[in-house]
DNA sequence: AATCAGCACAACCGCGAACTG
DNA sequence: ACAGTTCGCGGTTGTGCTGAT
């Protein structure tokens, strides 16, 4: 009947991960590849639930993750994609391969939401002052667009009309100039794994991810 | 120097979808 | 077909850090 429980919930450890735990998790994934999270706590002896292991890997330890210092271009993409897709952070993250959905979500909640709110209040005041007879209602999408225009972000630089195959490299190129800032301990681990990830076999999840990304491309193109 | 408020971000929680036996 | 479980996602919270007073 179904699958066995992923882990013993009584002995679960919570809170921040230690570098030792990170090393254990990374070396396990190095040997077995990401996925099958259910078996990670039992195989490694980590007192973490499978969910916590997956989250730690995808949001922090996974190689190729760029942390902090969002460029104005990335900011523009997030604002634009948020307007198109809503709070679909995983979908948005698929357009920014070096960023995690959690990172994007955090950046949106702590920076961009406030920026847009501030900008909208300025627009509203301006609208009320300039023309009280016209509708002052600004849709979310147009508000985002106004914000983007205000910040001189050129849509062409991240044009969604490019094909799936040639879109990703362009995004990557845009980020290549930015400096990488890793947390000291996990950064080294991530770098160690970068080479391995390049040669790692394609997992089912990865295949699915790519399919979704490509269908997202089509959806965006259709908008 | 001490205290406080706001910020940034890692991690947790809950839910729905997908999967397995 | 069904029940029980895992997986992945989005929302939220907890906590350490930093700047202002």
Q: Which of residues 99-138 of A touch strand B (CB under 7 A)?
A: 102-103, 105-107, 109-111, 114
Residues at the strand C interface (CB under 7 A)? A 1-7, 35-38, 50-51, 54-55, 58, 87-91, 101-102, 105-106, 109, 205, 209
A110 and A25 in a common domain: no
CA nearest A214: which of A176, A174, A162? A162
A77 and A37 in a common domain: no
Distance A137 CA to C16 C1' (A): 41
- DSSP SS3 for A130: helix
pLDDT exceeds 50 at position A166: no
A153 and A45 in a common domain: no
DSSP string across A91-126: HHHTTSTTS-HHHHHHHIIIIIHHHHHHHHHHHHHH
Nearest residue to C16, CA vs C1'? A16
pLDDT exceeds 70 at position A93: yes
- A66 within some domain: no
Q: Positive or negative CA dihedral for A22, A50, A10, A102?
A: positive
Nearest residue to C2, CA vs C1'? A1
Distance A154 CA to B2 C1' (A): 48
- A3 within some domain: no
pLDDT exceeds 50 at position A161: no
- A177 within some domain: yes
Q: Which of residues 145-174 of A touch strand B (CB under 7 A)?
A: none
Q: Return d(Cα A24, Cα A40) in angstroms, integer.
A: 10
| Per-residue flag: A200 CB under 7 A of strand B | no
Q: What is the mean pLDDT of residues A145-152?
A: 62
CA nearest A58: which of A40, A82, A84? A40
Work out the mean pLDDT of chain A and round it to a whole number.
Answer: 66
- Total domains, chain A: 2
pLDDT exceeds 60 at position A205: no
A150 and A131 in a common domain: yes
pLDDT exceeds 60 at position A200: no
DSSP 8-state code for residue A97: T
A100 and A41 in a common domain: no
Q: Which domain holds residue A190?
A: 72-222
- A37 within some domain: yes
Distance A165 CA to C16 C1' (A): 42
Q: Give me the residue label for tokens 């362009």.
A: A170
pLDDT exceeds 50 at position A2: no
Nearest residue to B20, CA vs C1'? A2
Give A13-24 pLDDT, tens digit per residue: 888 898 888 898
Is the Cβ–Cβ distance between A104 and A80 less than 8 Å? no
Q: Return d(Cα A75, Cα A81) in angstroms, integer.
A: 10
For residue A76, report the phi and psi dihedrals to the nearest 5 degrees: -60, -40
A145 and A55 in a common domain: no
Distance A104 CA to C17 C1' (A): 21
- Structure confidence at residue A167 (pLDDT): 34
């Amino acid at each position: 009947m179904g699958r066995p429980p992923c882990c013993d919930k009584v002995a679960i450890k919570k809170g921040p991960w230690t570098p030792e735990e990170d090393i254990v998790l990374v070396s396990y994934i190095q040997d077995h590849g990401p996925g099958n999270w259910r078996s990670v706590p039992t195989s490694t002896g980590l007192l973490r639930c499978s969910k916590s292991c997956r989250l730690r890997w995808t949001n922090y330890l996974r190689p190729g993750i760029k942390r902090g210092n969002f460029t104005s271009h990335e900011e523009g993409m997030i604002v634009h994609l948020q307007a198109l897709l809503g709070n679909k952070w995983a979908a948005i993250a698929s357009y920014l391969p070096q960023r995690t959905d959690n990172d994007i979500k955090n950046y949106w909640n702590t920076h961009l939401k406030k920026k847009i709110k501030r900008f909208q209040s300025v627009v509203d005041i301006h609208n009320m002052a300039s023309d009280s007879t016209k509708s002052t209602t600004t849709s979310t999408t147009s508000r985002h667009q106004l914000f983007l225009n205000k910040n001189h972000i050129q849509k062409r630089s991240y044009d969604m009309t490019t094909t799936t195959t040639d879109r990703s490299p362009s995004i990557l190129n845009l980020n290549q100039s930015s400096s990488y800032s890793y947390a000291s301990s996990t950064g080294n681990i991530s770098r160690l794994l970068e080479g391995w990830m390049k040669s790692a076999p394609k997992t089912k999840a990865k295949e699915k991810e790519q399919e979704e990304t490509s269908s997202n491309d089509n959806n965006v193109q259709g908008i």
